[in-house]
Every structure is written in C-alpha cells, then in structure tokens.
C-alpha cells in the first residue's frame, strides 16, 4: 500500500497565530500580522514557488510598512514553529515496518521544505514526496496529485492520502486516490483498517 501524508498539522505543527503571539507577546497585534504574512497572496505564491522569499518579504513590507521589522524577523524564523507530532512519527514507523510505502504531498515554501528535511531525521522513512514549491502547483489543484503519481510510477487506486484540510482530501478522492481527512492518529488507524 502507498500512503501519502500532508505535513502541516498532520506530521508537523502549523499554528501561525499562536507562533506570532509567542514570538511578539503584546508587542504587536498578532491577528493583523497574521493577515499580512500567513493569509497573504504572497504566502500562496511562495507555496507555489512562483516568487522568491526576498520578493515575498518586500511585497509584505510594502503592504504593511508599519510592521516591516516584525515581518522581516518573522519571515526569518517562522519555520521554527514546525514541531513533530510524536504520535504521527510513531505511526509512520509502524506503517513502514508493516511494509507500506510512504510519501509526502504538501504545500510548502522552498526554504522551509529544505529546513524540515535537514532538521527532522524521520523524513528518511519516506520513499519520496512532492512539495508544491518544486512543481509550481498548490493543493487542491489535481495536477499536483498527478505529479506525485507520475514521479513514482504509482496508481491512484493503490494510494491512500491523509490531509487535515477537507478540500484537499476531496480533490484527491475526485482524482481517484482514497482521501481521508486527518483528525488524529487513532482515527487514521481505524480508517485504514476499514
């Protein structure tokens, strides 16, 4: 069986608002900064690898000049918010030991994707994967699922995909991959058994 995993909020934590509040405390309005950075069109373009990190920062600062210093510092360290869910890491190890082939498919920036692959040794459990920034496509575009299948010679019907975002799960299912929305490892195990 080929099992495909999203990364954010499935394998690694992704809680940008909480990260901003912890980083800046009461110094800045975390909600406003969230909108300028993580909810921006630049963030989506970075995921798709269509603009550089420096260009994204420049545009964000132009959009919110009063927050320039906060934007620059946040964009220099935001990847530190990614922490492994140990339960998911153990789940990956169990699946690998049972003979499953593991892949990742995630919307991710270039710098952040390179950082997590170096930072977390358990990514060696994966047989491969696709980051959105490398193929210039973001989920839920069905072409990104096609990229993964073609890259590794997989058949859609032989794959299961876990993602915390329902829209991405629905897109994979429409493409022929069995999509399962990720809520917890225990629910995922039950879904796999079924």
Residue range 31-36: mean pLDDT, rounded: 94
DSSP calls for the chain:
-EEEE--BTTTB---HHHHHHHHHTTSS-HHHHHHHHTTSHHHHHHHTT-S-HHHHHHHHHHH-GGGHHHHHHHHHHGGGG--B-HHHHHHHHHHHHTT-EEEEEE---HHHHHHHHHH-GGGGG-SEEEEHHHHT--TT-HHHHHHHHHHHT--GGGEEEEES-HHHHHHHHHHTSEEEE-S-HHHHHHHHH-
What percentage of the chain carries pLDDT values higher than 90? 95
pLDDT at 104: 98
How much of the chain, in percent, has pLDDT values that exceed 70?
A: 100
User: Average pLDDT of 173-188?
Assistant: 95
User: What is the value of pTM for the model shown?
Assistant: 0.94
Tell me: pLDDT of 194 over 90. no
Is the pLDDT score of 181 beyond 90?
Answer: yes
Mean per-residue pLDDT for 23-40?
Answer: 92
> Does the pLDDT value for residue 159 go beyond 90?
yes
- Chain segment 1-10, per-residue pLDDT in tens: 999 999 999 9
């Amino acid at each position: 069986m080929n099992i495909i995993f999203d990364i954010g909020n499935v394998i690694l934590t992704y809680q940008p608002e909480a990260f901003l509040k912890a980083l800046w405390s009461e110094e800045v309005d975390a909600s406003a900064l969230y909108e300028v950075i993580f909810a921006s069109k630049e963030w989506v373009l970075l995921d798709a690898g269509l603009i550089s990190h420096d260009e994204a920062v420049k545009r964000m600062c132009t959009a919110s000049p009063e927050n320039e210093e906060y934007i620059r510092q946040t964009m220099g360290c935001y990847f530190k918010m990614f922490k492994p869910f140990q339960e998911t890491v153990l789940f990956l190890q169990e699946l690998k030991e049972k003979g499953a082939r593991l892949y990742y498919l995630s919307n991710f920036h270039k710098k952040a994707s390179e950082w997590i692959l170096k930072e977390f040794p358990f990514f060696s459990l994966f047989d491969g994967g696709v980051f959105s920034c490398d193929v210039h496509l973001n989920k839920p575009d069905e072409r990104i699922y096609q990229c993964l299948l073609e890259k590794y010679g997989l058949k859609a019907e032989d794959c299961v995909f876990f993602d915390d975002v329902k829209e991405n799960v629905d897109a994979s299912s429409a493409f022929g991959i069995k999509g399962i929305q990720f809520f917890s490892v225990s629910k995922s195990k039950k879904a796999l058994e079924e």
